[in-house]
Amino acid sequence: MEVLRNVTRHKLRSFLTISGIVIGVLALTTMGALAENFNALLDGGVTYFGSNIQVGPPDGQSASLLPISKIDEIKQIDGVAAAFASYGFSAKPGQITAVSFGIPDTIVAGDPAENNWAALKTTFAQGHQLDASSTGQVVLGSTIDKEFAKKIGDTIDLPVKPSDAKPDFVNHAFTVVGILNPTRTAPDTFAYINVADGQTLLKDSLPVAIRDQIDVSKITEAINVYGKPGTSLSDLDKIADRINAQVPGVKAVRPSQLVNSFKSGGAIFTAITTAAALLALIIGGLSVVNTMFMAVAERVREIGLKKAVGATTFNIMGEFLVEATLIGIVGGVVGYGLGALITIIANATTPPGQSTLFLVTPNLTILAIGFATVLGAVAGVLPAWRAARLDPVTALRNE
C-alpha cells in the first residue's frame, strides 16, 4: 500500500514538474518568437542600410529637397559606382496607425535599376518588376497587398484619400503589375512606383500656390549611393566622408551609424529572450530538482535492493538521469507546442495591413526543446548522484 502511495505521489509531482517546465518553455517560445520577428525586421534594415549611403539635405536646412543634379556630382566621387534619386510618401496620409512593430504603409519611388545594386533582395509572388519607362504602375509588398486585397491587373488609388481630406488633395490610379513575396521586413508594406510617378506625387504634396512654379523633375527628396559590389561597411563610411567633404549642400550619413542603431534595437529583444530562458531555468530547474530528490527519498529501499544485486553507480545514475531528461523533453515539447500554437493564432488573427508579431524559426524550435531537455538532464545530476552514492546496507536497514 505504501509503495502504491509513493508511486501516486511521484506521478503527481512529475506532472507538476512537467507543468512548471511547460510554463517556462511556453514563455520562452512566445517571447522568443516575438524577438525573432523583430530581429528579422531589424536584419532587413542592417542588410539594406549596410549596403548603401543615404544622402539628404544638410542638417539645419529648412528645405527637405535636393537638386537632382547632385547625383552627377556624387557619381564623380572616388568609390561611388551608382547613385539614384529616391522619394517616399505615406500611403495613408493623416491616418492614425495602430501600434505595430512593422513599418507603416509607404509609397517608395525610385529607378527599378536600383534593385540590381540593393543587398536586400525581393522576389515576386506574382507579376513582374516595374517597366523602367512606364508610369501608372505599382508593385505591392505582401502586407499592403493583403490589406487592399489586390491582384495583378487591379487598380489602386495612391495615396489613399483620408476621410478628412482637404479640397486640394490629389491621388492617382495605379495598375498593379507585381506582388512581392513576404520578406518580414520593410518591403512588405511598401508600394513601389517609378521616379516619374514619384515626382508627380511630390508636386501634388506642394502647396497649391507654388505647385506650378517648381520643376519637380529637377529635385529629389534623397539620393541612394552605392559603391562597387563587395564594398565593405568601413569603405562605405569613407565614401560618405568624401561626399560630405567634396559635394556642397548635401549630408551623407555613414552607413555604420544606421547599422549600429538597428543592432542596438536587436539587443533589446535578445535580452527579452534571455529573460524568458532564465524564467524557464528557474521554474523548471527547481521543479525537476525537487521532484527527483523526493523520488530518491521514496525509493531508498528500491535503490538498496538494486545495488545489493549488482547495480553499479553508473546504472543508478543513468536511471535517474534518464527519468529527469524525459521530464524535460515532455515539458519542452508540450510547452513549445502551446507557445507555437499561440503565435500561429495571433498571427492568423492579425488585422489586414498590420504586420504579424511572431516568427517561429527552426533555431527557436531547437532552442526551446533543446533547452528543456538539457535543463531536465542537468537538474537531475545531483539527485542521481545522491541515489548512486547510497550505501545498500544502510538503505535496507533504514527501511
Question: How many angstroms separate the CA atoms of 34 and 358, rounded?
Answer: 5
Could you tell me which of 342, 340, 325 has the C-alpha nearest to residue 379? 325
State the virtual CA torsion across 202, 205, 208, 213 in degrees, nearest 10: -20
Question: How many angstroms separate the CA atoms of 145 and 191, rounded?
Answer: 9
State the virtual CA torsion across 359, 123, 129, 56 in degrees, nearest 10: 60
Contacts 24+ apart (CB under 8 A), 345-351: 351/98
Report which secondary-structure segment, H or E, holds 129: none
Handedness of CA 380, 385, 390, 392 (dihedral sign): positive
Grid coordinates representing 35 are 524577438
- Write down the pLDDT at residue 79: 96
Could you tell me which of 150, 163, 42, 54 has the C-alpha nearest to residue 103? 42
Residues 195, 114 contacting (CB under 8 angstroms): no
The one-letter amino acid at 358: F
Compute how many other C-beta atoms are within 10 angstroms of the C-beta atom of residue 136.
15
The strand pair at 137-140 and 190-193 is best described as: antiparallel
Which single residue is written with the C-alpha cell 504603409? 105
Grid coordinates representing 134 are 512606364
- The SS3 of residue 273 is helix
Grid coordinates representing 382 are 545531483
Question: How many angstroms separate the CA atoms of 263 and 254, rounded?
Answer: 15
Phi, psi of 196 (to 5 degrees): -60, -40
Give the C-alpha distances (Å, rounded to integers) separating 331 from 22, 47, 282: 5, 37, 14
Residues 250, 56 contacting (CB under 8 angstroms): yes
Handedness of CA 359, 360, 364, 369 (dihedral sign): positive
Residues 239, 53 contacting (CB under 8 angstroms): yes
Report pTM. Answer: 0.79
pLDDT of the chain, 399 residues: tens digit per residue: 444 555 555 566 566 667 777 887 888 888 888 888 888 888 888 999 999 999 999 976 656 789 999 999 999 999 999 999 999 999 998 665 554 556 889 999 999 999 999 999 999 999 999 998 889 999 999 999 999 999 999 999 999 998 888 887 889 999 999 999 999 899 999 999 999 999 999 999 888 878 888 899 999 999 999 999 999 999 999 999 999 999 999 999 999 999 998 888 777 777 766 676 666 667 666 666 666 666 666 666 666 666 666 777 677 777 778 887 888 899 889 999 999 999 999 998 888 767 788 999 999 899 889 988 887 787 777 777 776 676 555 544 555
Question: How many angstroms separate the CA atoms of 353 and 188, rounded?
Answer: 10
Question: How many angstroms separate the CA atoms of 266 and 245, rounded?
Answer: 32
The strand pair at 172-180 and 155-158 is best described as: antiparallel
Q: Provide Rg for the chain, Cα atoms.
A: 31
